[in-house]
């Protein structure tokens, strides 16, 4: 895991080293262990790297790295988890290696197979490879966009890429300003742009997940899809549900196993929820029962952010998870003394528009790094493909209710009510029963029946991605799918997950910690998207197959726990205590400094209205 950058002067001008170094140094927190720069094509192209040492800690792992008598050069961010297997295959073909890194394996694979090497890789990556013979730059990104890759193309002038949007503030020859239309979309929905390859800035885009680009001076660069989920839906899955569960656990365990490969200590960000506990428990079991090569023995430590006295606090659940596996757990406290300054600096670094500060998730990785952990194995990616969010279950429930599938209504109602805190469940069930009663009364009406007969089944228009010009030669389009399928495809590939992957990338890398995600193993994802709906939700549970696969492998009370908290900032509490004066100062300051006047000048926000609303909410919450 590192930071990568590059600048290609398409007009033939020489690239000044100081220009590239300034651009690359903006990524220093991603790679505190070293840096490098190399220049090509008569000094019109520069590739740069900031190193976070994880595999092969020697100078042999330094980047940019060359291969095949310096024909190919790479700057690479990420990990290829199956690099040992690929290396053995390449050695059998006669390739020789000078390092023990996965970076050199990528270069050898590209030498052997060209762009088809991408199909060989199981991992997360963003990289750029320069071909000195063909004078072309090849950029590629992993299947799901776990690792970021942003670029600016100014035709006839410059092509530049980097791991973060923030870096482009430091790029000579490019003025980073908001695109008003994209900014408006982003303010309306903070998850809207990321999965489509857009940012709120003009001319600043992403290489899309599962895509590559070729850049040459005499050619318009275009994004080409190399991986599409529909090409990997499996028609032959195990017939019985028990066999499906067994296969799921087999894939998940191997995904955890290969992600333990590291020359530095590995930990887990543990919330005590199903997802992170599944990862932690499986990793612990692997370390205790299996003999593995190329791992750091100090890899069974858990880290949990706690908020004593607040609903966000999950200390008791994390303690249960650690006790079951016999591992060590460290509890991390947020420093409230400089909270406003921390939020400001972290928000500036994260460089995205979001509904809450990145502070809580960033503090976990900050604490891990202070305790010597460089790699974290986490549980991201499950909710989006296995109906883990309330809104998704509401969508299934409402679709079943409006189309009068009473059996499905009761099934989803059971799941939905259990997603709430125990004190809220009775009210929730009463509301659901009323919904069904009202709907039944309508069904008895003859006119209503005739309208339904003429219209047929009601088809929801929810879960559609924002309509923007596609950056892909083969864009994802899930609009014709039924809602139960459409929602998981959109949430995983186009909406929520891409934004969350960005958030966690920033949270980890601002603290120089790599985050690995076993549930995002492409074999597991392809398998889950091939499963029938009944394997994913039902019997009172979301993420059904995960729960059944983990039976006997983790604490039972956590396995069947349904109330979801997750890692998030207790922003309402902070605003009315530690951040109260800071918020009021921000709202009441001089016009050129206030959030309201500077944040959005298009007329939709009335400054006085926002201030009054804030004061009313503030008084109401404090009085409770």
Q: Which of 501, 257, 491, 234 is nearest to 386 (CA)?
A: 491
How far is CA 367 from its chain centroid? 20
Structural domains in the chain, CATH included, are: 2-227 (3.60.20.10), 231-384+469-559 (3.40.50.620), 579-622 (no CATH)
Mean pLDDT in residue range 193-221: 96
Distance of alpha carbon 565 from alpha carbon 574, whole angstroms: 17
Cα–Cα–Cα angle for 205, 149, 387, nearest 5°?
A: 90
Q: pTM for this structure?
A: 0.90
Measured from the Cβ of residue 26, the count of other Cβ atoms closer than 10 Å reads 21
Task: Give the residue, 133 or 410, on which the prediction is more confident.
Answer: 133
Contacts of 215 (CB under 8 A, 6+ apart): 8, 136, 137, 138, 139, 159, 221
Least reliable range by pLDDT among 184-188, 272-276, 401-405, 466-470:
401-405
The pLDDT of residue 594 is 46
Burial 277-296 (b: 16+ CB within 10 A, else e): bbbbbbbbbbbeeeeeeebb
Stretch 30-34: mean pLDDT:
95
- The tens digit of pLDDT for each residue in 537-583 reads 998 899 999 999 999 999 999 999 987 666 666 777 777 777 877 87
For position 601, what pLDDT does the model report?
46
Q: Look at residue 239 in the predicted model and tell me its pLDDT.
A: 87
Contact 55, 65 (CB under 8 A): no
538 in helix, strand or coil? strand
Residues 91-141 have pLDDT tens digits of 999 999 999 999 999 999 999 999 999 999 999 999 999 999 999 999 999
Identify which has the larger pLDDT, 424 or 463. Answer: 463
Cα–Cα distance for residue pair 252/352, rounded to 1 Å:
32
Q: How confident is the model at residue 170 (pLDDT cuts 50, 70, 90)?
A: very high
Tens digits of residue pLDDT in 283-306? 999 999 998 888 887 888 999 988
- How large is the C-alpha radius of gyration of the chain? 25
- What's the rounded Cα separation, in Å, for the pair 553 and 555? 7
User: What is the C-alpha to C-alpha distance for residues 15 and 582, in angstroms, rounded to an integer?
Assistant: 43
Cα–Cα dist 201/186, whole Å: 11
- In this prediction, residues 394-410 reach a mean pLDDT of 84
Pairing outcome for strands 65-67 and 72-80: antiparallel
Nearest by Cα to 490 from 181, 229, 149: 229
CB 157 within 8 Å of CB 163: no
pLDDT over 90, % of the chain: 68
pLDDT surpassing 50 at residue 452: no
Least confident of 415-419, 445-449, 567-571: 445-449
Closest CA to 528 of 146, 145, 144: 144
Report the distance separating Cα 586 and Cα 589, nearest Å: 6
pLDDT mean across residues, the chain: 88
Residue-wise pLDDT tens digits, 298-346: 888 999 988 777 767 788 999 999 999 988 899 998 776 788 888 889 9
Q: What integer is the mean pLDDT of 390-401?
A: 88
Going across the sheet that includes 35-40, the strands are 35-40, 45-51, 2-9, 158-162, 150-154, 204-206
CA dist., res. 7 & res. 501, Å (int):
25
């Amino acid at each position: 895991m590192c930071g990568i950058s590059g600048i290609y002067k398409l007009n033939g001008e020489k690239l000044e080293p100081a220009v590239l170094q300034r651009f690359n140094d903006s990524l220093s927190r991603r790679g505190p262990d070293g840096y490098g720069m190399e220049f090509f094509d008569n000094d019109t192209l520069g590739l740069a790297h900031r190193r976070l040492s994880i595999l092969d800690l020697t100078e042999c792992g330094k980047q940019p790295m060359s291969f095949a008598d310096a024909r190919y050069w790479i700057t690479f961010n990420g990990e290829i988890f199956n690099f040992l297997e690929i290396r053995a295959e390449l050695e059998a073909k006669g390739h020789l290696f000078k390092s023990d890194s996965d970076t050199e394996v990528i270069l050898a694979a590209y030498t052997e197979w060209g762009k088809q090497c991408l199909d060989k890789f199981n991992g997360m990556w963003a990289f750029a490879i320069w071909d000195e013979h063909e004078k072309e730059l090849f950029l590629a990104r992993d299947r799901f966009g776990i690792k970021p890759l942003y670029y600016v193309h100014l035709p006839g002038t410059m092509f530049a890429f980097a791991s973060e949007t923030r870096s482009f503030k430091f790029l000579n020859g490019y003025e980073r300003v908001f695109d008003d239309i994209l900014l408006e979309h982003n303010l309306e929905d903070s998850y809207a742009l990321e999965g489509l390859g857009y940012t709120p800035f003009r001319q600043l885009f992403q290489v899309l997940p599962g895509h590559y680009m070729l850049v040459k001076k005499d050619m318009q660069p275009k994004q080409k899809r190399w991986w599409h989920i529909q090409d990997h839906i499996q028609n032959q899955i195990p017939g019985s549900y028990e066999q499906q569960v067994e296969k799921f656990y087999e894939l998940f365990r191997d995904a955890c196993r290969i992600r333990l490969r590291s020359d530095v200590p590995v930990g887990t960000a543990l919330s005590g929820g199903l997802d992170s506990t599944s990862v932690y428990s499986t990793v612990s079991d692997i370390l205790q029962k299996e003999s593995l090569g190329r791992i750091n023995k100090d890899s069974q430590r858990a880290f949990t952010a706690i908020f004593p006295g607040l609903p966000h606090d999950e200390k008791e659940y994390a303690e249960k998870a650690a006790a079951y596996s016999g591992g060590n757990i460290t509890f991390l406290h947020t420093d409230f003394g400089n909270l406003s300054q921390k939020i400001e600096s972290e928000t500036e670094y994260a460089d995205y528009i979001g509904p809450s500060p990145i502070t809580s998730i960033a503090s976990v990785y900050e604490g891990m790094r202070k305790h010597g952990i460089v790699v974290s194995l986490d549980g991201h990616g499950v909710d989006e493909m296995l109906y883990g969010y309330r809104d998704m279950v509401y969508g299934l429930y409402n679709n079943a209710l409006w189309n009068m599938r009473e059996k499905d209504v009761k099934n989803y109602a059971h799941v939905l009510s259990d997603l709430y805190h125990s004190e809220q469940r009775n009210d929730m069930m009463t509301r659901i029963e009323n919904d069904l009663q009202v709907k039944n009364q309508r069904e008895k009406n003859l006119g209503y029946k005739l309208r339904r007969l003429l219209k047929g089944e009601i088809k929801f228009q929810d879960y559609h991605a924002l309509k923007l010009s596609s950056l892909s030669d083969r864009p994802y389009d899930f609009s014709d799918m039924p809602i139960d399928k459409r929602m998981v495809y959109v949430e995983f590939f186009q909406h929520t997950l891409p934004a969350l992957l960005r958030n966690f990338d920033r949270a980890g890398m601002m603290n120089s910690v790599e985050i690995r995600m076993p549930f995002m193993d492409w074999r597991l994802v392809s398998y889950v998207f091939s499963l029938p709906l009944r394997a994913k939700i039902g019997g009172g549970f979301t993420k059904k197959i995960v729960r059944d696969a983990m039976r006997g492998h983790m604490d039972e009370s956590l396995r069947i726990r349904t109330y979801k908290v997750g890692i998030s900032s207790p922003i309402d509490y902070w605003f009315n205590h530690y951040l109260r004066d800071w918020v009021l100062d921000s709202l009441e300051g001089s016009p050129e400094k206030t959030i309201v006047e500077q944040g959005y000048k298009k007329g939709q926000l009335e400054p006085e209205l926002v201030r009054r609303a804030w004061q009313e909410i503030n008084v109401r919450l404090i009085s409770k």
